[in-house]
Structure 1
Amino acid sequence: MTTTAGPAAALDPRTRAEVERWLTRRGLPHLIAGYSAREDVLTRVVPFLALVFTFEVLLALNLDWPLWANVAAVVGGGVLLLGAYGLLNRLQGRATLALPRRVGNGEIATFLMLPALLPVVFGGDLASAAVAILGNAVTLAVVYFVASYGILHMLRWALAQTGRHLAAVGRLAARALPMLLLFSTFLFVNAELWQVAGDFTTATFTATIVLFVGAGLIFFLLRLPRQTADIATFDTWAQVEGLIARSPAVALGDAPSRPLADVPPLSRPDRLNVGLLLVVAQGVQILLVSALIGAFFVAFGLIAIREGTILTWTTAEEVTALARLTLWDTPVVLTTELVRVASFIAAFTGLQFTVSASTDETWRAEFIDDVVADVREALAVRARCLAAAPPDAG
């Protein structure tokens, strides 16, 4: 390990950039020191927002107008929007069509309000203008949330983690399946469940699955604050140094002289970012295990449950067939009822997994600890980077 060379080495731009990329790829951008939504998030999504602008200009088209009027409306709308944006840039001291380095209230107001002028100017339609403002506000909020918390990076990291630990997840599913078979198989061959599945509409079936998912999510979220606090706590700098050994932060050198207690605690956005990552990572794992259970019961139903049996259990006049196959010279049918029953059991299994993986230490060791270790490594990188900065910058 290299020797710390003071603040200059600690704030080396190359090391800082590598650490920022390392944290961003793990879906934890809020752990970056000095992270700013207006400078680091909204500026990156300006090109996407420009596409939304362009789409809204095209909405000025009216099929009832002649071609020349539509062309004039599109050109006029584009000139209006570009002119207003250029004027804002000039007022901010930037080049006319320059991309902003910091998105302020003026840029946000421009995105929200300017497209709403088009239906007013070209048709006097105030209702459409209000809808445009509301739509832009929702779009901006969604884009900000996804970009600010690195949701896409988070999903990619969670999928990669699951892929690396696929064998462990498979072992866990194989271990869990025998425990579930006694209850789930009895439930699966129970006529009452098939009757319930047969009575489901698409809306009620979806609501039932959402209810199971929501119950598991609420249970997990209730335990999340304590879990986050535990993994963000370090006893000594030696512990931190051991955790960052495989990260770019190792280039910062030996442990700093500043007390560990001086490192700022996690802010609310930091905690939300960590919590989201834990939810997404464990959600991907639970979804995979639930999908395996659901696929097992679909296969079991295809082999063991005949079409006549389904008709008897559901009291329906005919099944809703999705596909008809032949297995070992025996006709089998994949029905909507079978898929719904298997999905119901899979969702219930997911809820059980969520509870068991959070409370049972044996399950936790196989199911959660790897994810927690990676998040703890990122939190150690954050602590080391904040300690490397001058005291007034921490």
Structure 2
Amino acid sequence: MPPTDPDQSAEPGQAAGETEHWLRSRGLPSFVSPRRLTSLLVARTAPFITLLSCVDLAGWLLDHTKVSLDSGAPAAGVAVLAVTGLGLIVLLLTPVAAFLCSGAWLRSFPRGMTVAGWMILAYYVAVAPWLAGHPPAAGSSPLEGTGALLGTARSAITAGLSLAATGLGLGSLASWSLRSAVRQLSALGELTTRALPLLMLVVVVSFFSRTLWEVTNAMSTERLAGVVAFFVVLGLIFIVPVTRRETVGLENTGPPLSRLEYLNVTTVLVLAQGFQVAVFSGPVCLFLTALGQIAFSGAVLDVWLGPGREQLEVAGIRLPVDAALVKTAVFLSCVSSLNFLISATTTASYRSAFYDPLFEDARQALEVRAGQLAPAGRKTGTEIVVEWE
């Protein structure tokens, strides 16, 4: 956080560091000097390593927990179920808190965050692989203990790649894009009342088509993932040229961008729009799944798809939802998302709610960069940041 008073005396290096920290937090690592880009590297990578560690712990907890609800004495089973559920909730909230609070903690306790980062890194590389194989499964051979060594090697490679990605600024780029999309969740009210009903007119008609259900039911998980990837590519083919044209108009603020800086600005804007589409597709998929649960009886689906339909299974838990219903909802949410992406960039009312705010953020960042590179006598980047903050 920059100083609240622009008239405070500050060393030039400190002011430049505050400005570059602000730019990095906006997903623009190419605007930051290499020396500051790698500062506090372990501490800045700690939230992601925490996420990986929590995922591993959650998997270990599910693998080693057996819940048996005995009708004669159900208390023990209920207690185990409650403790397991509480543990999973803690493992879910821990990385969320780490990502949300890491910025403030880094500014207030940089040395403590570095120590904590090294401890988390040591746990992930050295302790977690050993924990994954203990207690050993019944009948396991001593040779299976080498799995811990392989796990340590994999964890070390993953940690090294994570540190490299953080040093290159990929983490700040992705996190800012995600935060930009989440900040616009307030616009979902407008989306629900304006965009979603128009899209549903087209999508719901297709949703009640037997042919579509037969096609999606025959898709394997891998084939469905390929269809989703195909829609992602279509979206990129449309949005990348549009974003590049809009970015050219932003270059009027300050000195011309280098190729790397231009690529950085374009990438962060494309990612932010991608997260917007993901935020939009989630409610559409849930809406269609709920509609299918209400509208389609088992008898209808038996006639359409045949008996013995596959049920949805998540993490080994079988849910009372038809897999074909979820596949159809995912497919149609992809169609809706592509339609939304095109509308958000071409329709004036959608642009003002979803598209223009992203480019306003980029324009502000370029003004800060211009102030950072400004000659003496003009506002510095830190002073511009202070005005906005």
TM tier, smaller: 0.5 to 0.7
Gaps of 5+ in 2: 1-5, 50-154, 314-318, 378-389
Aligned to 2:16: 16
Query: 1:223 aligned to 2:242?
Result: yes
On the 8 A contact 2:181/2:273 being kept in 1, the answer is no
On the 8 A contact 1:307/1:333 being kept in 2, the answer is no
Aligned to 2:85: none
Cα deviation code 1:114-146 (max 9, x no counterpart): xxxxxxxxxxxxxxxxxxxxx999986775445
Supply the distance in 1 between the matched residues of 2:289 and 2:43 (Cα, whole angstroms): 46
Q: Check 1:197–1:286 CA distance in 2 against 1; reply closer, same or farther (3 A cut).
A: same
On the 8 A contact 1:293/1:346 being kept in 2, the answer is yes
Supply the distance in 1 between the matched residues of 2:184 and 2:302 (Cα, whole angstroms): 42
On the 8 A contact 1:169/1:367 being kept in 2, the answer is no
Cα deviation code 1:15-37 (max 9, x no counterpart): 111111111111112123xx22x
- 2:312 alignment partner, SS class: strand
Aligned to 2:303: 312
Cα deviation code 1:67-91 (max 9, x no counterpart): xxxxxxxxxxxxxxxxxxxxxxxxx
Aligned to 2:354: 367
Counterpart of 1:158 (choices 172, 177, 202) is 177
Supply the distance in 2 between the matched residues of 1:333 and 1:348 (Cα, whole angstroms): 25
Q: Check 1:221–1:46 CA distance in 2 against 1; reply closer, same or farther (3 A cut).
A: same
**Stretches of 4+ moved more than 4 A in 1?**
45-48, 135-143
Cα deviation code 1:297-321 (max 9, x no counterpart): 011011111122122222x331112
Supply the distance in 2 between the matched residues of 1:186 and 1:305 (Cα, whole angstroms): 14
Greater Cα offset, 196-205 or 381-390: 381-390
Supply the distance in 1 between the matched residues of 2:226 and 2:348 (Cα, whole angstroms): 32
Q: Check 1:173–1:267 CA distance in 2 against 1; reply closer, same or farther (3 A cut).
A: farther
Q: TM-score, normalised by structure 2?
A: 0.60
Q: Which letter does structure 1 place at the counterpart of 2:14?
A: R
Query: 1:292 aligned to 2:267?
Result: no
- 1:367 alignment partner, SS class: helix
Supply the distance in 1 between the matched residues of 2:247 and 2:159 (Cα, whole angstroms): 30
Supply the distance in 1 between the matched residues of 2:366 and 2:201 (Cα, whole angstroms): 42
- 2:308 alignment partner, SS class: coil
Map residues 45-124 of structure 1 onto 2, 5 A cutoff.
none
| More helix by percentage | 2
Q: TM-score, normalised by structure 1?
A: 0.59
1:231 positional shift: 1.9
- Higher gyration radius (CA): 1
Map residues 136-155 of structure 1 onto 2, 5 A cutoff.
143-151=163-171, 153-155=172-174
Supply the distance in 2 between the matched residues of 1:25 and 1:145 (Cα, whole angstroms): 15
On the 8 A contact 1:31/1:379 being kept in 2, the answer is no
1:12 positional shift: 1.2
Q: Check 1:10–1:273 CA distance in 2 against 1; reply closer, same or farther (3 A cut).
A: farther
- 1:233 alignment partner, SS class: coil
Which of 1 and 2 has higher RCO (CA within 8 Å, sep 6+)?
A: 1
Aligned to 2:38: 41
Gaps of 5+ in 1: 52-134, 235-259, 324-331
Query: 1:174 aligned to 2:171?
Result: no
Supply the distance in 2 between the matched residues of 1:214 and 1:24 (Cα, whole angstroms): 28
Map residues 206-355 of structure 1 onto 2, 5 A cutoff.
206-234=225-253, 263=255, 265-314=256-305, 316-322=306-312, 333-355=320-342
Aligned to 1:377: 364
Greater Cα offset, 161-170 or 289-298: 161-170
Q: Which letter does structure 2 place at the counterpart of 1:149?
A: G
Cα deviation code 1:17-67 (max 9, x no counterpart): 1111111111112123xx22x77339836998xx9xxxxxxxxxxxxxxxx
Supply the distance in 1 between the matched residues of 2:244 and 2:10 (Cα, whole angstroms): 31
Q: Which letter does structure 1 place at the counterpart of 2:201?
A: L
Q: Check 1:47–1:227 CA distance in 2 against 1; reply closer, same or farther (3 A cut).
A: closer
On the 8 A contact 1:158/1:281 being kept in 2, the answer is yes
State how many pairs are aligned: 263
Q: Which letter does structure 1 place at the counterpart of 2:206?
A: L
1:354 positional shift: 1.5
Supply the distance in 1 between the matched residues of 2:236 and 2:206 (Cα, whole angstroms): 24
Supply the distance in 2 between the matched residues of 1:28 and 1:199 (Cα, whole angstroms): 44
Q: Check 1:141–1:299 CA distance in 2 against 1; reply closer, same or farther (3 A cut).
A: same
Q: Which letter does structure 2 place at the counterpart of 1:354?
A: L
Q: Check 1:47–1:171 CA distance in 2 against 1; reply closer, same or farther (3 A cut).
A: closer
On the 8 A contact 2:289/2:326 being kept in 1, the answer is yes
On the 8 A contact 1:158/1:280 being kept in 2, the answer is yes
Supply the distance in 2 between the matched residues of 1:150 and 1:386 (Cα, whole angstroms): 24
1:383 positional shift: 1.0
Supply the distance in 1 between the matched residues of 2:223 and 2:19 (Cα, whole angstroms): 47
On the 8 A contact 1:42/1:144 being kept in 2, the answer is no
Percent identity of equivalent pairs: 31
- 1:187 alignment partner, SS class: helix
1:356 positional shift: 1.5
Q: Which letter does structure 2 place at the counterpart of 1:378?
A: A
Supply the distance in 2 between the matched residues of 1:18 and 1:364 (Cα, whole angstroms): 32
